[in-house]
Amino acid sequence: MAGSSQWPRLTARDRLLHVLGTEGALSRSDLVRRTGLSRSTITTLVAQLLTEQVLVERQDRGTPLNGRGGRPPILLELAEPAGVVLGLDLGHRHIRAGLARLDGTMLAERLLALDVDASPAASLDRVAGLVEALLDESGHDRADVRAVGMGIPGPVDRTGTMTSGILPRWRGTRPGEALTARTGLVARVDNDAHMGARGELAYGAARGRRDVIYVKTSTGIGCGIIIDGKLVGGATGIAGELGHVQVDEHGIICRCGSRGCLETEVSGPKLVELLQPAYDEPLTIPRVIALAEDGDAGANRALGDVGRRIGRVLADMCNLLNPELVVTGGAIGASPAFLAGVRDAIDRHAQPTAAAAVEVAPGALGEDAELRGAISVALEVGAPPAIPR
């Protein structure tokens, strides 16, 4: 039987909910044994929680105690909370939308190819259309939506405003407010790399880790920093702009307005530009990855060089932050040659103890990382309060 010393800060009600939340369906007798509460207390609490529809009785029954004969006990479990959450991932060339239950289970997803950079208004009109389509498909309406998370491919400050010149047509816009005007739904908005980090932390390669750097390498280079299990936003919310670390003070002007940013030297488009003269066919990032997978020496060499260049900057971050894991995402992140380049640069340039402490691994979610991160953010906002632990 559980002693009361195991539950120093929990009420009897919270104790019962905690046990059901961690162990699953149990009988009333099981709850007496697991919680240490008296049978009369359990009887009173269960009756109250059934009335409140916090608990439900399962139709199937449990096994008789100690395998004896007789009528099996009725099992109790937490009721599935009502409502859904929405996740939205806007990339430079796509919109992904997903609808999930409050336990994170995906109900429906939609993908739309679109030039998001070209027009904030047109893009958000299409987002609103996808939201309605998802709700219709799943049999829900707007009143069922508990919260929305939305990722955007550019810096978003703490006021929800798009900053810098990375997306010139979006600069100064407030995508969350624009979505509310179209749908009546309120979204928590952040940049796509932050959402990718959140996705890998909640559901992917970083699950169970505490100190992680997530790097997204695609059209640009983004980064999400997880310290002690929490995303670092910084003073204004734009922490992690890895692609805009200056690596050459005399370099070319970057789209952000600075000079010689890492992104001006290595990114998806720069990779294609570097390789194109050596190939007769038109190259794209997916085609370069496919060539590398087929053993093409030039593609693998170029991907390794990109990994080493980014890894050089990550090595300094490893010295400063001492992470346990670097997760590489985006269109390039899963390439073995890229991963090897990142690993090599960290081993060469980070302090030996920092380099030895950090694992470098590809993301587990691929292109779904940002959408899953948006779902994770929405769940934090809209899910019922966590059961005390």
pLDDT tens digits, 167-198? 899 999 999 999 999 999 999 999 999 999 99
d(CA 157, CA 262): 22
pLDDT tier for residue 1 given thresholds of 50, 70 and 90: very low
In the structure encoding, which two tokens stand for residue 386, read together? 């966590």
pLDDT at 24: 80
pLDDT in tens, 10-27: 688 888 888 887 788 899
Domain end point (choices 34, 53, 78): 78
Q: Tell me the mean pLDDT in the region 146-162.
A: 94
Q: Does the pLDDT of residue 6 top 70, yes or no?
A: no
Q: Does the pLDDT of residue 365 top 80, yes or no?
A: yes
pLDDT tier for residue 276 given thresholds of 50, 70 and 90: very high
Residues 189, 332 within the same domain: no
Residue 12: helix, strand or coil by DSSP?
helix
pLDDT at 388: 40
HSE (side-chain half, CA atoms, 13 Å) at 346: 29
Q: Tell me the mean pLDDT in the region 145-166.
A: 91
Residue 123 backbone phi and psi in degrees, to 5: -65, -45
Looking up residue 144, the CATH number of its domain turns out to be: 3.30.420.40
Residues 252, 359 within the same domain: yes
Domain end point (choices 78, 100, 132): 78
Residues 245, 351 within the same domain: yes
For residue 278, the enclosing domain spans 207-364
Residues 182, 231 within the same domain: no
Residues 238, 164 within the same domain: no
Does residue 173 contact residue 134 with C-beta atoms inside 8 Å? Answer: no
Angle at 198 between CA 321 and CA 124, to 5 degrees: 130
**Residue 361 forms beta bridges with which residues?**
327
d(CA 367, CA 309): 23
Q: Is residue 387 part of a domain?
A: no
pLDDT tier for residue 5 given thresholds of 50, 70 and 90: very low
Does residue 384 contact residue 81 with C-beta atoms inside 8 Å? Answer: yes
Residues 102, 250 within the same domain: no
pLDDT in tens, 49-88: 999 888 999 866 555 555 555 678 899 988 877 789 999 9
Residues 348, 376 within the same domain: no
Number of domains in the chain: 3
pLDDT tier for residue 123 given thresholds of 50, 70 and 90: very high
Q: Does the pLDDT of residue 270 top 70, yes or no?
A: yes
Q: Is residue 74 part of a domain?
A: yes
3-state helix, strand, coil in the chain (%, to 5): 45, 20, 35
Q: Is residue 263 part of a domain?
A: yes
Residues 176, 217 within the same domain: no
Residues 279, 261 within the same domain: yes
d(CA 192, CA 153): 5
pLDDT tier for residue 151 given thresholds of 50, 70 and 90: very high
- Residues of the chain with pLDDT > 70, as a percent, come to 92
Q: Tell me the mean pLDDT in the region 300-327.
A: 98
Residues 231, 308 within the same domain: yes
Looking up residue 47, the CATH number of its domain turns out to be: 1.10.10.10
Q: Is residue 237 part of a domain?
A: yes
HSE (side-chain half, CA atoms, 13 Å) at 22: 13
Residues 235, 288 within the same domain: yes
Computed on alpha carbons and rounded to an integer, the radius of gyration of the chain in Å comes to 25
Q: Is residue 388 part of a domain?
A: no
pTM greater than the 0.85 cutoff: no
Q: Does the pLDDT of residue 4 top 50, yes or no?
A: no
pLDDT tier for residue 386 given thresholds of 50, 70 and 90: very low
pLDDT at 105: 84
- Residues of the chain with pLDDT > 90, as a percent, come to 77
d(CA 182, CA 307): 41
Q: Does the pLDDT of residue 325 top 70, yes or no?
A: yes
Structure letter (DSSP) for residue 179: H
Q: Is residue 201 part of a domain?
A: no
d(CA 20, CA 35): 10
DSSP structure string for 71-116: PPPEEEEEPPPP-EEEEEEE-SSEEEEEEEETTS-EEEEEEEE--T
pLDDT at 19: 85
Q: Is residue 64 part of a domain?
A: yes
Q: Is residue 378 part of a domain?
A: yes
Domain end point (choices 50, 78, 106): 78
Residues 89, 125 within the same domain: yes
pLDDT at 230: 95
| Beta-carbon contacts of residue 142 (< 8 Å; ≥ 6 apart) | 135, 183, 184, 185
pLDDT tier for residue 164 given thresholds of 50, 70 and 90: confident
Looking at every residue in the chain, the average pLDDT score rounds to 90
